[in-house]
Amino acid sequence: MKFINDKCSICGDCVAKCVNNAIISGDIYRIDIEKCIDCGACVEVCNQNAIVEYVAPIVDDPEFNS
Ligand code: SF4
Ligand code: SF4
C-alpha cells in the first residue's frame, strides 16, 4: 500500500499518472486505499520521493499479538 508523506510539494504530477484515480488532491494529497492498486506509477513520477510504502506500526502488546 502506498502513502504520501509530508515531503509532498503539492505539485499534482502524480494525479495525472495514477491509473485508477486513487490520488486525492487538496491542501494535502493523499491516496485512497480503496482505489489504489499498488502499481507504483505515482512513485516514479514524484520528484520529492514523497510516495512511499506504508508500513503498519508494530504493536508491542502481548495480548494483541497472542
Ligand atoms: S508527485 Fe509527489 S510531490 Fe507532487 S503532488 Fe504527488 S506526492 Fe506530492
Ligand atoms: S500506486 Fe498506482 S494506483 Fe496507487 S496511487 Fe499510485 S499510481 Fe495510483
Query: Which residues contact ligand 1 via a Cβ below 6 A?
Result: 4, 8-14, 29, 45-46, 48, 50-51
Contact criterion met (CB below 8 Å) for 49 and 9: no
Type of residue numbered 57: P
Maximum CA extent, the chain: 44
| Domains identified in the chain, total number | 1
The grid cell for 54 is 506504508
For residue range 21-52, list pLDDT tens digits in order: 999 999 999 999 999 999 999 999 999 999 99
- We report the CATH number of the domain holding residue 51 as 3.30.70.20
CA of 9 to the centre of ligand 2 (A): 18
Residues above pLDDT 70, as percent of the chain: 95
Query: What is the residue whose three cell numbers read 485512497?
Result: 32
Residues spanned by the domain of 43: 2-65
C-beta of 46 in contact with ligand 2 (< 6 A): no
Contact criterion met (CB below 8 Å) for 19 and 35: no
